[in-house]
Amino acid sequence: MSIVVTGANGNLGRLVVEGLLEKVPADRITAVVRGKEKGARFEALGVRIAVADYNVPGTFEGLFAAGDRVLLISSSEMTADRAAQHRVVIDAARAAGVSLLAYTSAAGGHESPLTEAHRRTEKALAESGLPYVLLRNNWYSEIFVDRLETVVEAGVLVRAAGTGRIASATRADYAAGAVAVLTGTGHENRTYELGGDTAWNFPEFAAELGRRTGREIVYTPVTVEAYTELLVGAGMPELYATILAGADASFAKGELAGTSGELSRLIGRATTQIGETVAAALKR
Ligand SMILES: NC(=O)c1ccc[n+]([C@@H]2O[C@H](COP(=O)([O-])OP(=O)(O)OC[C@H]3O[C@@H](n4cnc5c(N)ncnc54)[C@H](OP(=O)(O)O)[C@@H]3O)[C@@H](O)[C@H]2O)c1
């Protein structure tokens, strides 16, 4: 019996494997990576590795064993049919008879281009007959501090989210949640709405950034169309610009503002405040 983590070499996956190593022997953990070289860091720790690709169903055949607990980390390939990629893992897990399949889904009950693949994957899981857990993760706080220096330099934070709130948490918080589920009991067929304990908005974010840098940071809310144009003008491919601006529209409507407290209950501690994430980013 192994705890198997797909997407193990990604930002979230690495944190999950690190967290698992604190709770279970290394040889009971399997890291699924896309190339053998990407597994070197895990092998050095005594973690087993398996090489597989969501796009090549045969690579998942025989990868799982009966009784395994699996964390399916959602694909990062935004131009692929991600639900079809995830079904490859679900089918292999069902064929093997795994005892639990946890899936990193998206928070909120709303429909958007980002959530569409997650909802289809959730449906496939429900229909699979497998014991599953939905980890409906809200946004990663780290996404909002990406290229923070540009904002500080300009003294202006432009977004299309109005004053909508976001209950983000850090990848480390979500990873700890996944570890709690993979190593705990009684999570079968549960759906967890996971996010930060405190929701924040961009006016507060700008004020926090201003306090921590001693600079004036002016939050300038714009329309979704204007924000999309701005991102494309800055060199972002249109697909990603549309997705990011669409996410801001969801924030504006309060669709990601829910604070269920489920993540802090799972991990037995408070989630990381956005101010701490801002502070960590400014130290980089
Ligand atoms: N909640 C949020 O705010 C948020 C934000 C961004 C993404 N996400 C979702 O959360 C997931 C994990 O986040 P992250 O930060 O860890 O992303 P990440 O660092 O990009 O990691 C994604 C992982 O998925 C693997 N992967 C991609 N395509 C694959 C394929 N065809 N077959 C097998 N593995 C594949 C990658 O493998 P390689 O190491 O070989 O590249 C990587 O290990 C993302 O993939 C995305 O679905 C959520």
pLDDT at 230 over 80: yes
When pLDDT is averaged across residues 155-175 and rounded to a whole number, the result is 98
Distance in angstroms between the alpha carbons of the first and the last residue of the chain: 40
When pLDDT is averaged across residues 51-63 and rounded to a whole number, the result is 98
pLDDT confidence of residue 112 = 86
pLDDT at 174 over 90: yes
CA separation for the pair 276, 142 (Å, rounded) = 10
Cα(156) to centroid(ligand 1), Å: 30
pLDDT confidence of residue 33 = 98
Domain 138-170+195-258+269-284 sits in CATH at 3.90.25.10
Cα(120) to centroid(ligand 1), Å: 18
Domain boundaries, the chain: 3-137, 138-170+195-258+269-284
Cα(207) to centroid(ligand 1), Å: 31
Distance from chain centroid for Cα 55? 20
Minimum-distance ligand 1 atom for the alpha carbon of 104: 10
Cα(7) to centroid(ligand 1), Å: 6
Which residue's CA is minimally distant from atom 33 of ligand 1? 53
pLDDT at 15 over 90: yes
CA separation for the pair 194, 264 (Å, rounded) = 9
Cα(134) to centroid(ligand 1), Å: 17
Tell me the CATH class for 3-137.
alpha beta
Question: Which of 6, 9, 75, 76 to mutate for ligand 1's pocket (most ligand atoms within 8 Å of CB)?
Answer: 76
Cα(5) to centroid(ligand 1), Å: 12
pLDDT band for position 229 (cuts 50, 70, 90): very high
Which residue's CA is minimally distant from atom 46 of ligand 1? 76
pLDDT in tens, 75-85: 999 999 999 99
SS (H, E, C) the chain: CCEEECCCCCHHHHHHHHHHHCCCCHHHEEEEECCHHHHHHHHCCCCEEEECCCCCHHHHCCCCCCCCEEEECCCCCCCCCHHHHHHHHHHHHHHHCCCEEEEEEECCCCCCHHHHHHHHHHHHHHHHCCCEEEEEECCEHHHHHCCHHHHHHHCEEEECCCCCCECCECHHHHHHHHHHHHHCCCCCCEEEEECCCCCECHHHHHHHHHHHHCCCCEEEECCHHHHHHHHHHCCCCHHHHHHHHHHHHHHHCCCCCCCCCHHHHHHCCCCCCHHHHHHHHHHC
Cα(215) to centroid(ligand 1), Å: 34
pLDDT band for position 1 (cuts 50, 70, 90): confident
Q: Are strands 69-72 and 100-106 parallel, antiparallel or unpaired?
A: parallel
pLDDT confidence of residue 62 = 96
pLDDT confidence of residue 114 = 87
Mean pLDDT of the chain: 97
Which residue's CA is minimally distant from atom 34 of ligand 1? 7
CA separation for the pair 6, 92 (Å, rounded) = 13
The residue behind tokens 């999570």 is 187
pLDDT confidence of residue 35 = 96
When pLDDT is averaged across residues 168-182 and rounded to a whole number, the result is 98
pLDDT band for position 155 (cuts 50, 70, 90): very high
Question: Which of 73, 115, 144, 251 to mutate for ligand 1's pocket (most ligand atoms within 8 Å of CB)?
Answer: 73
Cα(166) to centroid(ligand 1), Å: 21
Which residue's CA is minimally distant from atom 3 of ligand 1? 139
pLDDT at 109 over 80: no
* Pocket around ligand 1 at a 6 A CB cut-off: 7, 9-13, 34, 38, 53-55, 73-77, 85, 104, 137, 139-140, 143
pLDDT at 113 over 90: no
SS (H, E, C) 148-203: HHHHHHHCEEEECCCCCCECCECHHHHHHHHHHHHHCCCCCCEEEEECCCCCECHH
pLDDT in tens, 237-273: 999 999 999 999 999 999 999 999 999 999 999 999 9
